[in-house]
Amino acid sequence: MAHQDHGHGGHGAPVEAPPEPEVPETQGSLFNVVREKAEPLRKFVGGGYKDTQLWKSVFRHKLDDSHRNRSLAVLSNVFLHLHPARLNRDAVRYNFTWGMGGITFYLFVILTITGTLLMFYFHPSKGQAYKDIMYLQHDVPFGNLLRNMHRWTAHAMVITTWIHMMRVFLTGSYKPPREFNWNIGVLLLLFTMLLSFTGYLLPDDQLGFWAVTVGTNMARATPILGHEGPLGPELGFTAFNDVRFALLGGSVVDANALLRAYIWHCIAIPIIAAVLMIVHFWRIRKDGAISGHAPVMLESEVK
């Protein structure tokens, strides 16, 4: 296989051919042929794909350990750019932040994915809803897995939201200039609870039915807006025009209530919560990152 350069070496004495390399017995075997043919593929999978234009168009930075490159890697990625390009290492200590805000957000992402998938089998109509849940649990491939992922993640998200709130309170992170973000957070907590509550009715089982019956009965006593609350009757509210009626789409928990719970749960509240989350995360950055000092502002710049 050795190639000799006759262009230069062919004039003088004949060049002695190098000894033929010893051919292993397996050289011509099928295994070796396959290995030889598959070599480009092996190289590609083993890192060669990073040399393609496709890969480079997506990931534009080397892994150089320089400040500039590390900043660029974060700033040029839409997902990473939520993070600051650089931050104080003490600001991300878990024993200070507990990581609860981020965990809550990840749980929300899981809920969005699993919830969207569950929607493919769920009809929000009386009678059919419960059948669909049974169908999901007992027959649809991985339906039980998805339903339980959604259910347990939902429980976890309520818990982590509360713990996040507690941490923010204990570390005094509600104080200026973060007081606005605290209020956004309170709204997010409210919408988390509402997501949990509206999801409760969707299986249309006895548990959810009576939970929502009890929950919406409390809405009767809403001040001013409820027909059993202070000033409610005086303002002309009855069981057929008060806030409970608006929630249920009727005076009892029935088909309209199921459909309303479904739409609030799957569309309206997630959109509202997502918008609030955008504001929440953005303000975290602007108010001095997840923990740490508030940004320095001149007195003339402060309203």
Q: In the complex with another protein, which residue's Cβ is closer, 141 or 236?
A: 141
The alpha carbon of 231 is separated from its chain's Cα centroid by a whole number of angstroms, namely: 43
Query: Which residues are near another protein by CB under 8 A?
Result: 117, 120-121, 135, 139-143, 145-146, 296, 298-300
Phi, psi of 166 (to 5 degrees): -65, -45
Residue 57 C-beta: closest distance to another protein, Å: 21
> Per the structure block, which two tokens stand in for 211?
């939970």
Q: In the complex with another protein, which residue's Cβ is closer, 13 or 296?
A: 296
3-state secondary structure 225-278: CCCCCCCCHHHCCCCCCCHHHHHHCCCCCCHHHHHHHHHHHHHHHHHHHHHHHH
Q: In the complex with another protein, which residue's Cβ is closer, 248 or 266?
A: 266
Residue 135 C-beta: closest distance to another protein, Å: 8
Query: Is residue 144 within 8 Å of residue 116, measured between CB atoms?
Result: no
The Cα 190–Cα 156 span in angstroms is: 15
Residue 183 C-beta: closest distance to another protein, Å: 29
Residue 121 C-beta: closest distance to another protein, Å: 8
Residue 88 C-beta: closest distance to another protein, Å: 16
CA distances from 250 to 97, 201, 207, 243, 245 (A): 44, 15, 20, 10, 5
Q: In the complex with another protein, which residue's Cβ is closer, 25 or 299?
A: 299
Q: DSSP character for 220?
A: G
The Cα 194–Cα 258 span in angstroms is: 14
Q: In the complex with another protein, which residue's Cβ is closer, 118 or 284?
A: 118
Q: In the complex with another protein, which residue's Cβ is closer, 7 or 46?
A: 46
Residue 150 C-beta: closest distance to another protein, Å: 12
